[in-house]
Structure 1
Amino acid sequence: MRGAGVTTGSVGLVLARPARLLGAEPFFMEFIAGIEERLAEDDRSVLLHVVGAQDAEIAAYRRWAAGSVVDAVVVVNRTADDQRPRVLRELGLPALYVGEPDELAVPAVRSDDAGPVREALAYLLELGHRRVARVSGPETLLHTRARTAALLAGCAEAGIEPVVLEGDYSEETGAKLTAALLAADEPPTAILYDNDVMAVAGLNVAKELGVAVPGQLSLVAWDDSSLCRLATPALTTMSVDVHQFGVTVAESVLELVGGQPVAERWSPTATLVPRQSTAPTS
């Protein structure tokens, strides 16, 4: 164990997700870059570890705590029945949570997961869409559940019933689920995706099936990476400043490891950026 006041200079981040997705999905690369940029100003750095599941993530925390490897960890992708806050408290490993706080998961950088969904739905409804679908992220994630609840509530108010299919952020599920939606007897006229990779895959499937975008089908992506801007047609997105998100997280981490009160912070809010993949229903 290191002595009092001695620091490692490292902040840990464990991502429990298939490594292949990390290379394909721009979100976490931009997020980590934002954290690293701000930490570097304080002569600190990110220690990144990629694992396949949450139990392996918890095992990594135990090793880090036993070896005094990091000064703190950033915990992302909060889940239902999440065991990580309890374990980290037991280990005495300082942690900053990304997402809504609870009695154990504090301090946290909060996010508005429902508001952007309501904005996207209002936009599609204004364009005349009544058959709306969503390809979501994993349903175990709290932010996925918050987005789903917001979509269901908004559609109920509008008197329509959306179709929600659970994906995993990958190109494969984006393509597979889009194909399933378009094969329905009454296919959607608009699909909202929970990330950019699935949206681009969905756009490619629509092209292969001869479904015109946006003439017959409107698509809305999430995160607004270069994938969305370079697609043809360019994808309408819920745009998030992911780099600034990482910087914001780093600001809170620096307060945490410095023994200061951690100020309440919110991640940048996703805002609608209309492009060429959405249009009024015909």
Structure 2
Amino acid sequence: MDASEHTGTAGAGFSGAVGLVLARPARLLGIEPFFMEFIAGIEERLAERGLSLLLHVVADQEAEIAAYRRWAERGLVEAVVVVNRTVDDRRLPVLRELGLPAVLAGAGSDAPGGGAEAGGGGGTPMPAVRTDDAGPVREALAHLLDLGHRRIARVSGPAGLLHTRARTEALVQGCREAGVEPVVVEGDYSDESGAGLTAELLRRPEPPTAILYDNDVMAVAGLGAAKEMGVAVPERLSLIAWDDSTMCRLASPPLTTMSVDVHQYGVLVAESVLELVDGLPVAERWSPTARCVPRGSTARCAVPSTA
């Protein structure tokens, strides 16, 4: 996949296209399964109606906004899917200004139907497929606390993303209630950040006995870094990945994950898009909830608690 604009389903033509802009390094798309499964779910449902997906990969949010302006000017898409919502998201007011219909993928449970916060200044709420980012973090944390872990770290995605903020807040609050002080470091979803940040955490005077990662790529890289440093997993370090994938299941040991049906998430987003372009009321939908799937990378903590 490259950064060019193209239709994902042949034969529908531009007049029947739905747009998706991904503002992230193109190289990550080749190694991160999440968006491949998400896009497949969207395309599967759109194809049933003869619609196509116009995908564009760009470097940053400025380029994403420029793509929306270009699409609106040329009439290339009937609607867009907006992913990776950010704090003070500047894309949403632009979409309102352009009159470009949009479905928000990943509106949190605290965003009332898109609302003024989602719409960037009020007006008719943008339809959204909601996600619960806090609940799964609490479930993963409970799993680690039950295993006796008290030195807990989190390798997050970019801090400006709303779902990153929700997950971090859930972890900090849950740890506070348990009398634990977590360590949170910011990654970028890449294997380089997963490995590098894991190594930094393990070099601390009191290294964590458990680390939660915001995606599978960083978690697998973190596992590799721990092995290179001679830190046994799970005997000395427990690891949990967000997003299940083949790489998690084939890792040695297999990674405990927060598993979600990403393909079905894409299908649900496409359902909302179809209602939007048909001029129908868009039903409130929730992404499938992530569930903790324990595997070989988590075990009872062998380090005496100092909390």
Q: What TM-score, normalized to structure 1?
A: 0.97
Distance 2:33 2:65 in 1: 25
**1:52 maps to what in 2?**
59
Unaligned runs of 5+ in 2: 1-12, 108-113, 120-124, 303-307
Give 3-state SS (helix, strand or coil) of 2:30's partner.
helix
Distance 2:115 2:68 in 1: 20
| 1:25 corresponds to 2:38 | no
Q: Say which of 36, 44, 48 aligns to 1:41.
A: 48
Matches within 5 A, 1:222-237: 222-237=242-257
Matches within 5 A, 1:99-114: 99-100=106-107, 101-103=114-116, 104=119, 106-114=126-134
| 1:192 corresponds to 2:215 | no
For residue 32 of structure 1, report the CA deviation from its aligned partner: 0.1
Give 3-state SS (helix, strand or coil) of 2:234's partner.
coil
Deviations 1:24-61 (A, max 9, x none): 11100000000000000011111100000000000000
| 1:248 corresponds to 2:268 | yes
Matches within 5 A, 1:1-282: 8-100=15-107, 101-103=114-116, 104=119, 106-282=126-302
Larger mean CA deviation between 240-249 and 97-106 belongs to 97-106
Give 3-state SS (helix, strand or coil) of 1:150's partner.
helix
For residue 9 of structure 1, report the CA deviation from its aligned partner: 1.1
Percent identical residues: 75
Deviations 1:114-146 (A, max 9, x none): 000000000000000000000000000000000
Give 3-state SS (helix, strand or coil) of 1:99's partner.
strand
Unaligned runs of 5+ in 1: 1-5
RMSD: 1.0
Give 3-state SS (helix, strand or coil) of 1:202's partner.
helix
Contact 2:14 2:76 in 1 (8 A): no
Show structure 1 runs of 4+ deviating over 3 A: none
